[in-house]
Protein backbone atom coordinates (compact mmCIF):
# COMPACT_ATOMS: atom_id res chain seq x y z
CA UNK A 1 0.00 0.00 0.00
CA UNK A 2 1.41 3.35 -1.03
CA UNK A 3 0.91 6.36 1.24
CA UNK A 4 -0.72 9.44 -0.26
CA UNK A 5 0.69 12.95 -0.11
CA UNK A 6 0.15 15.12 2.95
CA UNK A 7 -1.81 17.64 0.88
CA UNK A 8 -4.34 14.97 -0.07
CA UNK A 9 -4.64 13.86 3.55
CA UNK A 10 -5.38 17.46 4.59
CA UNK A 11 -8.07 17.77 1.92
CA UNK A 12 -9.69 14.53 3.03
CA UNK A 13 -9.61 15.56 6.70
CA UNK A 14 -11.43 18.78 5.77
CA UNK A 15 -14.31 16.72 4.40
CA UNK A 16 -14.72 14.63 7.57
CA UNK A 17 -16.92 15.46 10.53
CA UNK A 18 -15.37 16.10 13.99
CA UNK A 19 -16.70 12.73 15.20
CA UNK A 20 -14.98 10.90 12.34
CA UNK A 21 -11.72 12.76 12.99
CA UNK A 22 -11.90 11.77 16.65
CA UNK A 23 -12.38 8.13 15.69
CA UNK A 24 -9.39 8.31 13.33
CA UNK A 25 -7.19 9.77 16.10
CA UNK A 26 -8.21 7.07 18.55
CA UNK A 27 -7.58 4.40 15.95
CA UNK A 28 -4.13 5.85 15.24
CA UNK A 29 -3.29 5.83 18.94
CA UNK A 30 -3.86 2.07 19.09
CA UNK A 31 -1.17 1.21 16.56
CA UNK A 32 2.06 2.73 17.81
CA UNK A 33 3.24 3.86 21.19
CA UNK A 34 4.75 7.00 19.61
CA UNK A 35 1.36 8.04 18.21
CA UNK A 36 -0.16 7.69 21.66
CA UNK A 37 2.69 9.65 23.27
CA UNK A 38 2.35 12.43 20.69
CA UNK A 39 -1.40 12.66 21.30
CA UNK A 40 -0.76 12.76 25.05
CA UNK A 41 1.67 15.63 24.58
CA UNK A 42 -0.63 17.57 22.26
CA UNK A 43 -3.73 17.14 24.43
CA UNK A 44 -2.33 17.39 27.95
CA UNK A 45 1.21 18.76 28.07
CA UNK A 46 1.59 21.25 25.21
CA UNK A 47 -0.18 23.96 27.24
CA UNK A 48 2.44 23.79 30.00
CA UNK A 49 5.83 23.56 28.29
CA UNK A 50 7.84 24.15 31.48
CA UNK A 51 5.99 21.28 33.19
CA UNK A 52 6.72 19.08 30.18
CA UNK A 53 10.43 19.96 30.35
CA UNK A 54 10.50 19.14 34.07
CA UNK A 55 8.82 15.77 33.50
CA UNK A 56 11.35 14.89 30.78
CA UNK A 57 14.19 15.97 33.10
CA UNK A 58 12.73 13.63 35.73
CA UNK A 59 12.77 10.84 33.15
CA UNK A 60 16.43 11.64 32.36
CA UNK A 61 17.31 11.49 36.06
CA UNK A 62 15.59 8.12 36.46
CA UNK A 63 17.30 6.66 33.40
CA UNK A 64 20.76 7.84 34.46
CA UNK A 65 20.20 6.15 37.84
CA UNK A 66 19.41 2.87 36.07
CA UNK A 67 22.52 2.89 33.86
CA UNK A 68 24.59 -0.27 34.22
CA UNK A 69 28.02 0.95 35.29
CA UNK A 70 29.82 -2.40 34.91
CA UNK A 71 31.53 -1.47 31.65
CA UNK A 72 31.70 1.39 29.20
CA UNK A 73 29.89 -0.75 26.64
CA UNK A 74 26.74 -0.78 28.79
CA UNK A 75 27.14 2.89 29.66
CA UNK A 76 27.34 3.84 25.96
CA UNK A 77 24.36 1.67 25.13
CA UNK A 78 22.26 3.20 27.91
CA UNK A 79 23.22 6.79 27.12
CA UNK A 80 22.39 6.26 23.44
CA UNK A 81 18.97 4.98 24.50
CA UNK A 82 18.43 8.00 26.77
CA UNK A 83 19.49 10.39 24.00
CA UNK A 84 17.23 8.65 21.45
CA UNK A 85 14.24 9.12 23.77
CA UNK A 86 15.16 12.75 24.47
CA UNK A 87 15.23 13.40 20.71
CA UNK A 88 11.77 11.83 20.45
CA UNK A 89 10.42 14.13 23.18
CA UNK A 90 12.02 17.11 21.44
CA UNK A 91 10.30 16.09 18.19
CA UNK A 92 6.94 16.10 19.99
CA UNK A 93 7.47 19.64 21.26
CA UNK A 94 9.04 21.15 18.10
CA UNK A 95 10.24 24.15 20.14
CA UNK A 96 13.86 25.23 20.01
CA UNK A 97 13.86 26.35 23.67
CA UNK A 98 12.76 22.89 24.78
CA UNK A 99 15.43 21.27 22.61
CA UNK A 100 18.17 23.47 24.05
CA UNK A 101 17.11 22.97 27.67
CA UNK A 102 16.82 19.19 27.39
CA UNK A 103 20.11 18.75 25.54
CA UNK A 104 21.97 21.01 27.98
CA UNK A 105 20.51 18.99 30.84
CA UNK A 106 21.57 15.74 29.15
CA UNK A 107 25.10 17.08 28.64
CA UNK A 108 25.37 18.18 32.27
CA UNK A 109 24.20 14.75 33.48
CA UNK A 110 26.65 13.04 31.13
CA UNK A 111 29.55 15.25 32.20
CA UNK A 112 28.90 14.65 35.92
CA UNK A 113 28.39 10.91 35.39
CA UNK A 114 30.56 8.47 37.31
CA UNK A 115 32.67 6.76 36.05
CA UNK A 116 33.95 9.71 34.08
CA UNK A 117 33.21 9.88 30.36
CA UNK A 118 36.78 11.06 29.79
CA UNK A 119 37.89 7.42 29.76
CA UNK A 120 35.68 6.62 26.77
CA UNK A 121 36.28 8.23 23.38
CA UNK A 122 32.77 7.35 22.18
CA UNK A 123 31.08 8.97 25.17
CA UNK A 124 33.32 12.02 24.80
CA UNK A 125 32.32 12.26 21.11
CA UNK A 126 28.63 11.90 21.98
CA UNK A 127 28.97 14.73 24.50
CA UNK A 128 30.81 16.96 22.00
CA UNK A 129 28.27 16.30 19.23
CA UNK A 130 25.41 17.30 21.50
CA UNK A 131 27.20 20.49 22.54
CA UNK A 132 27.71 21.39 18.87
CA UNK A 133 24.03 20.73 18.18
CA UNK A 134 23.00 22.89 21.14
CA UNK A 135 25.20 25.76 19.95
CA UNK A 136 23.67 25.59 16.46
CA UNK A 137 20.16 25.59 17.90
CA UNK A 138 20.93 28.50 20.23
CA UNK A 139 21.92 30.64 17.25
CA UNK A 140 18.34 30.38 15.94
CA UNK A 141 16.87 31.81 19.17
CA UNK A 142 16.24 35.37 20.33
CA UNK A 143 19.32 37.31 21.49
CA UNK A 144 18.29 37.39 25.17
CA UNK A 145 17.76 33.63 25.20
CA UNK A 146 21.05 33.15 23.35
CA UNK A 147 22.90 34.99 26.10
CA UNK A 148 21.21 32.97 28.89
CA UNK A 149 21.82 29.62 27.22
CA UNK A 150 25.41 30.49 26.32
CA UNK A 151 26.05 31.15 30.02
CA UNK A 152 24.72 27.66 30.78
CA UNK A 153 26.95 26.13 28.11
CA UNK A 154 30.01 27.92 29.44
CA UNK A 155 29.37 26.33 32.84
CA UNK A 156 29.65 22.92 31.16
pTM: 0.87
The model's pLDDT over 126-154, given as tens digits with 9 standing for 90+, comes to: 999 999 999 999 998 888 888 888 888 88
**How many independent structural domains does the chain possess?**
1
Is 133 a domain residue?
A: yes
The model's pLDDT over 75-124, given as tens digits with 9 standing for 90+, comes to: 999 999 999 999 999 999 999 999 999 999 999 999 999 888 999 999 99
Is 151 a domain residue?
A: yes
Is 126 a domain residue?
A: yes
Is 3 a domain residue?
A: no
What range does the domain containing 117 cover?
25-155
> d(Cα 147, Cα 145) in Å, to the nearest integer?
5
Is 11 a domain residue?
A: no
Is 9 a domain residue?
A: no
User: Within 13 A of 29's CA, how many CA atoms are on the CB side?
Assistant: 14
Is 62 a domain residue?
A: yes
Query: Which residues, other chains included, contact 101 with Cβ-Cβ below 8 Å and sequence gap of 6+?
Result: 53
pLDDT of 151: 86
Amino acid sequence: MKAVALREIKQELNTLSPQEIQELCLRLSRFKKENKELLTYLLFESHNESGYIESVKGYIDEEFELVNRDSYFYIRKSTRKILRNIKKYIRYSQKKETEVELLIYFCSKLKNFTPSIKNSVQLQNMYNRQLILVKKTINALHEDLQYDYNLLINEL
